[in-house]
């Protein structure tokens, strides 16, 4: 009865294995591979991409997808078929040769970026980055034709299915109506108050690591199915049954690593909560990067910077790091973590100034993709827009346009999902607390059970069975908007 | 002019990438993967095997190999074609379904072996190990038919091309004419002498690690192309451009980890010394496991347990670990490292008793493969033969038939290569010293340059361009025999 569909499941399961293998090799490359392994690794990743591309380009796949549509599938099978079709449209749009070129160029560029960033050498990176950009534009054109979208929207659709820049423009414009003046107001008020007491370091790496591991356990991370390691740019990699998260340590700043770990743990919990019955099928995968980012920000920003959680974390930090007890007082920590200050580094930004970092990247990458700006002009344009949006100018490219791995690794169209994710996080957390009023009290005990239970049921286990907006609507009563985010900011920063 | 040959090169390069990826994933599984990742990893490794098998089973491959034979290839291309043909005969003999079953069963059994060994639970492992054995026999039968050999020889041929059990029987019988009585004699004499002074621990893991890293550097290991990590069973994995060696630490015994590291470094140097012009082609790969083991044993046993090298290592160890200075005296260390004592664990055995461990495994695995013994009877047969060959009986299976990873991971026919490798190591080291008399003096300075230079030229860079015997004959003037090994043992232990 479902012969074509079952054939598709087998085919896509193999594609998924190849993509899972790529995830493991990518994690290895970022976390532990010696530099001299880069060329061989590039070839490995490129070969996996080519083989996955060959599978999606099988001559009979389109017919199988059409036939399966008439096989009386159940709801999840239908959704799975829909995802297969989406993958097929994306995958067949780009010729195999281009896929291989992209993979090679991206791996090469990502490796080069690591040293270029350390050496503050944008010019050295430029030829490799130009190659990645050109190939991304070429692929974007091909996908745009297949999807009937603009080139930028075609790239965006890879990370956030069905999201379009028109909608982003509108959401970001709502944000811009509110944030700049509100930010200035908060900064002004915080200036007039006594500064919170900063815990003084150094914070030994081993202790940071051990606190991070304890907090991961508290959130519910299962170390039988994952690891915590170190990489230049923290990320959540691996696969649902073997989630590899990474962080980086700074002995003068414990917050960066620990909040980073909590952030990636949010991603990891989403992966682990995906329905195991649908492992290896597209419908069983996470629903795009906006939803993924909502889960990391929900843990890091909504839950772990809440006053409730800090009453639990404060004593824990004090025990681990010692020093001035006043600094570890929950109210003081809360004031510290709600400190708003424009900074150069996106990943270190507070949640009030963070959207400006994303808006900057969104505008610059659109200009680069749409041909309105030359890549060689990026450092100047970056610094100018930083000045305009945040009132500060990076002293060098290391603290400017070289700080992120996304563009060197070919992830154009990815950045907006961070801020869309922040909006979704606020919306989901508000709904969770309304549905389970015990969540804040539990967090104050370091108990993430009620929160994770609700998320598991309403978000994680939904996987890709419906669109982001449909999942949000079912869980929160609304499609994605800025209201909850705005209320959250006002509640937290408006005291 | 070489169209068919070039097509073959492309095909085999892709197969090699898949096999390289498998190596990386296998290393990850053994060194760092959380247990919960096992099922997904099994599927990944099985899929790689299946895809490699599909490539070797391509309908036109036999014709391409035949056509390429008429294309006027140069010497290395011809050798490469010969290796392709060998791989094709091995690869087409076994049906894809069986390959997948084997890969799944082996990965499952290897993971189960880790806990079975810790729990001393042979019965718990039995069903999984039986499955691996049955599938190996099935594959062996298929290969035996294609190669025109016995089932055991077909399995052996996977690890040591062209080696046959008839020749092993003859070499091992030469060994048995000499070793047992000689071993008894050495033990008797050592008993009558004052015991050497043993360095006293504990030897902290971090210091062992740092000494190991220093020694790897001295041998010439390039950390830009490799790593040292920890695993249950030390091994050399990864790929020539990213060699991953592992060790395990015991705080009461620094020799085991450090000599293990030197052993694996010998393997690693071979991999690194393979000709980079032939990366990704079969002719560019190591020439079987006998040759591979000769390189690890040459570094560990021939070079690093020599009196000359110990005059360098002694002060280095003393500086690192401190304690009784007498223990670190080179002459004392040499007496310590030439101590002969029958033991239960193969990897801890001295070089005089080691062959008995291998002869035991060789006989038992032949009996299992040829159906002369039931797997359930293995623990009893193992203990009986240990008593017969070494005069001791394991108190439990952890120290008996559960100690090695080889059988659980499906490597039947592998064990003989350890002792064949020990013979080759002695033969090669003797020839190297004859050709470069400065080698021992350099080792006394911790300088491996002359030795590695000679090995690079005469062994490593030869890769698979000729047979093991041809490479040995060109390098040492003789095919593989026991004479050099016998002389080495008598020279070292006959004082």
Q: With an 8 Å Cβ cutoff, are B44 and A36 in contact?
A: no
Query: Which of A17, A32, A43 lies closest to B17 in CB terms?
Result: A43
What domains, with CATH codes, occur in chain A? 3-119 (no CATH), 149-495 (1.10.1370.30)
* Predicted pLDDT of residue B495: 66
CA distance B277 to chain A (A): 13
Q: With an 8 Å Cβ cutoff, are A21 and B18 in contact?
A: no
CB A428 within 8 A of CB A298: yes
* Predicted pLDDT of residue B107: 85
Q: At what angle do helices B96-119 and B3-31 cross, to 10 degrees?
A: 20
Token pair belonging to A4? 């074509």
pLDDT over 90 (residue B103) = no
Q: How far apart are CA A425 and CA A442, in angstroms?
A: 19
**What element of type H or E holds A184?**
helix A165-192
Cis preceding-peptide flag for B248 (omega within 30 of 0): no
Q: Are β-strands A242-247 and A226-230 bridged in parallel, bridged antiparallel, or unpaired? A: parallel
Residue B280 — φ and ψ, nearest 5°? Answer: 85, -5
Q: What is the mean pLDDT of residues A250-257?
A: 92
CA distance B35 to chain A (A): 6
Residue A464 — φ and ψ, nearest 5°? Answer: -110, 30
Q: How far apart are CA B64 and CA A494, in angstroms?
A: 75
A267 is in an annotated binding site: yes
Sheet holding A226-230, edge to edge: A226-230, A242-247, A236-239
Q: How far apart are CA A55 and CA A11, in angstroms?
A: 7
**What element of type H or E holds B238?**
strand B236-239
CA distance A17 to chain B (A): 6
CA distance B202 to chain A (A): 23
pTM for the model:
0.91
**What are the pLDDT digits (tens) for B221-278?**
999 999 999 998 899 999 999 999 999 999 999 898 999 999 999 999 999 999 999 9
* Predicted pLDDT of residue A339: 93
**pLDDT, averaged across chain A:** 95
Q: With an 8 Å Cβ cutoff, are B36 and A225 in contact?
A: yes
- The pLDDT-based confidence of A103 (bands split at 50, 70, 90) is confident
pLDDT over 70 (residue A495) = no
| B113-144 b/e (C-beta count within 10 Å ≥ 16 → b) | bbebbeeebbeebeebbbbbbebbbbbbbbbb
Query: Which of B34, B227, B238 lies closest to A225 in CB terms?
Result: B34
Which carries the bigger pLDDT value, residue B49 or residue B151? B151
User: Does residue A217 belong to the interface with chain B, where contact is any CB pair within 8 Å?
Assistant: no
Q: With an 8 Å Cβ cutoff, are B44 and A241 in contact?
A: no
pLDDT over 80 (residue B193) = yes
**What are the pLDDT digits (tens) for A2-32?**
899 999 999 999 999 999 999 999 999 999 9
**What element of type H or E holds B189?**
helix B165-192
Residue A54 — φ and ψ, nearest 5°? Answer: -60, -40
* Predicted pLDDT of residue B494: 86
Q: What is the mean pLDDT of residues A85-110?
A: 91
User: Does residue B17 belong to the interface with chain A, where contact is any CB pair within 8 Å?
Assistant: yes
The DSSP secondary structure of A345-373, one letter per residue, reads -GGG--TTTHHHHHHHHHHHHHHHHTTSS
pLDDT over 80 (residue A45) = yes
User: Does residue B223 belong to the interface with chain A, where contact is any CB pair within 8 Å?
Assistant: yes
**What are the pLDDT digits (tens) for A61-90?**
999 999 999 999 999 999 999 999 999 999
User: Does residue A457 belong to the interface with chain B, where contact is any CB pair within 8 Å?
Assistant: no
Token pair belonging to A285? 């995968």
pLDDT over 90 (residue B464) = yes
**What are the pLDDT digits (tens) for A385-428?**
999 999 999 999 999 999 999 999 999 999 999 999 999 999 99
Q: What is the mean pLDDT of residues A136-156?
A: 96
CA distance A35 to chain B (A): 6
Preferred mutation among A37, A53, A243 to probe B, highest tally of B CBs within 10 A: A37
Alpha carbon of B274 to those of B10, B63, B294: distances in Å? 19, 29, 15
User: Does residue A443 belong to the interface with chain B, where contact is any CB pair within 8 Å?
Assistant: no
Contacts (Cβ under 8 Å, ≥6 apart) of A32: A229, B227
Q: Could you tell me which of A178, A87, A102, A179 has the C-alpha nearest to residue A139? A: A102
User: Does residue B21 belong to the interface with chain A, where contact is any CB pair within 8 Å?
Assistant: yes
Q: What is the mean pLDDT of residues A172-193?
A: 92
Q: How far apart are CA A472 and CA A478, in angstroms?
A: 6
* Predicted pLDDT of residue A69: 96
CB A353 within 8 A of CB A183: yes
Q: Could you tell me which of B479, B333, B461 has the C-alpha nearest to residue B420? A: B479
Residue A200 — φ and ψ, nearest 5°? Answer: -105, 140
User: Does residue B222 belong to the interface with chain A, where contact is any CB pair within 8 Å?
Assistant: yes
Q: With an 8 Å Cβ cutoff, are B239 and A40 in contact?
A: yes
Query: Which of A24, A43, A280 lies closest to B25 in CB terms?
Result: A24
Residue with tokens 């007496």: B335
Q: How far apart are CA A390 and CA A397, in angstroms?
A: 16
User: Does residue B41 belong to the interface with chain A, where contact is any CB pair within 8 Å?
Assistant: yes
Annotated active-site residue in A52, A83, A106, A264: A264
Preferred mutation among B39, B225, B242 to probe A, highest tally of A CBs within 10 A: B242
Q: Percent of chain A having pLDDT more than 90?
A: 93
**What are the pLDDT digits (tens) for B205-222?**
999 999 999 999 999 999
**What are the pLDDT digits (tens) for A212-243?**
999 999 999 999 999 999 998 899 999 999 99
Q: With an 8 Å Cβ cutoff, are B28 and A24 in contact?
A: yes
Q: With an 8 Å Cβ cutoff, are A33 and B242 in contact?
A: yes
A460 is in an annotated binding site: no
Nearest residue of B to residue A55 by CA position? Answer: B51
Q: Which chain B residues are Cβ-neighbours of A41 within 8 angstroms?
A: 242
Q: How far apart are CA B16 and CA B478, in angstroms?
A: 32
- The pLDDT-based confidence of A107 (bands split at 50, 70, 90) is confident
CB pairs under 8 A between A and B: 86
Q: With an 8 Å Cβ cutoff, are B40 and A241 in contact?
A: yes
Q: What is the mean pLDDT of residues A461-489?
A: 97
Q: With an 8 Å Cβ cutoff, are A47 and B17 in contact?
A: yes
The residues of B annotated with a catalytic role in the active site are: 264
Q: Which chain B residues are Cβ-neighbours of A279 within 8 angstroms?
A: 40
Q: Is the torsion defined by CA of A288, A294, A299, A300 positive or negative?
A: positive
**pLDDT, averaged across chain B:** 95
User: Does residue A34 belong to the interface with chain B, where contact is any CB pair within 8 Å?
Assistant: yes
pLDDT over 80 (residue B1) = no
Contacts (Cβ under 8 Å, ≥6 apart) of A413: A152, A155, A156, A157, A158, A159, A365, A369
Query: Which of A17, A39, A226 lies closest to B44 in CB terms?
Result: A17
Q: With an 8 Å Cβ cutoff, are A14 and B222 in contact?
A: no
User: What was the ipTM of the complex prediction?
Assistant: 0.90
| Torsion, CA A461, CA A465, CA A470, CA A476, rounded to 10 | -10
């Amino acid at each position: 009865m479902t012969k074509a569909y079952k054939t598709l499941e087998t085919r896509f399961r193999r594609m998924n294995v190849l993509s899972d293998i790529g995830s493991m090799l990518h994690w290895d490359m970022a976390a532990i591979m010696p530099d001299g392994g880069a060329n061989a690794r590039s070839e490995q990743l490129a070969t996996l991409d080519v083989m996955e591309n060959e599978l999606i380009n099988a001559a009979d796949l389109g017919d199988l997808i059409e036939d399966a549509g008439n096989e009386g599938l159940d709801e999840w099978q239908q959704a799975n078929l829909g995802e297969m079709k989406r993958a097929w449209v994306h995958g067949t749009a780009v010729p195999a040769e281009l896929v291989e070129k992209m993979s090679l160029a991206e791996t090469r560029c990502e490796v080069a970026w690591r040293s270029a960033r350390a050496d503050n050498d944008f010019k050295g990176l430029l030829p490799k980055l130009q190659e990645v950009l050109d190939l991304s534009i070429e692929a974007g054109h091909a996908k745009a034709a297949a999807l009937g979208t603009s080139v930028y929207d075609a790239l965006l659709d890879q990370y956030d299915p069905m999201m379009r820049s028109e909608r982003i423009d509108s959401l970001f414009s709502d944000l811009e109506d509110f944030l700049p003046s509100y930010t200035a107001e908060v900064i002004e008020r915080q200036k007039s108050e006594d500064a919170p007491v900063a815990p003084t370091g150094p914070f030994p790496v081993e202790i940071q690591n051990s606190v991070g591991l304890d907090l991961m356990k508290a959130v519910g991370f299962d170390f039988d199915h994952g690891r915590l390691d170190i990489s230049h740019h923290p990320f959540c990699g691996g696969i649902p049954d073997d989630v590899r998260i990474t962080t980086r340590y700074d002995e003068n700043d414990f917050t960066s690593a620990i909040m980073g770990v909590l952030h990636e743990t949010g991603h990891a919990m989403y992966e682990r909560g995906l329905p195991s019955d649908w492992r290896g099928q597209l419908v069983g995968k996470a629903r795009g990067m906006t939803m993924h980012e909502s889960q990391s920000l929900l843990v890091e920003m909504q839950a772990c910077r809440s006053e409730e959680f800090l009453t639990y974390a404060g004593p824990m930090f004090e025990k681990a790091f010692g020093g001035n007890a006043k600094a570890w007082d929950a109210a003081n920590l809360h004031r510290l973590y709600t400190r708003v200050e424009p900074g150069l580094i996106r990943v270190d930004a507070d949640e009030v100034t963070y959207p400006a970092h994303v808006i900057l990247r969104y505008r610059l990458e659109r200009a680069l993709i749409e041909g309105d700006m030359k890549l060689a002009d990026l450092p100047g344009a970056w610094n100018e827009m930083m000045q305009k949006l945040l009132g500060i100018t990076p002293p060098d490219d290391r603290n400017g346009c070289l700080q992120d791995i996304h563009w060197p690794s070919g992830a154009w169209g990815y950045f907006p999902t961070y801020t869309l994710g922040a909006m979704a996080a606020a919306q989901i957390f508000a709904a969770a607390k309304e549905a389970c009023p015990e969540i804040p009290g539990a967090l104050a005990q370091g108990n993430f059970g009620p929160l994770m239970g609700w998320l598991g049921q309403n978000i994680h286990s939904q996987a890709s069975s419906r669109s982001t907006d449909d999942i949000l609507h079912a869980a929160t009563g609304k499609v994605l908007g800025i209201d909850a985010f705005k209320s959250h900011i006002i509640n937290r920063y408006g005291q």
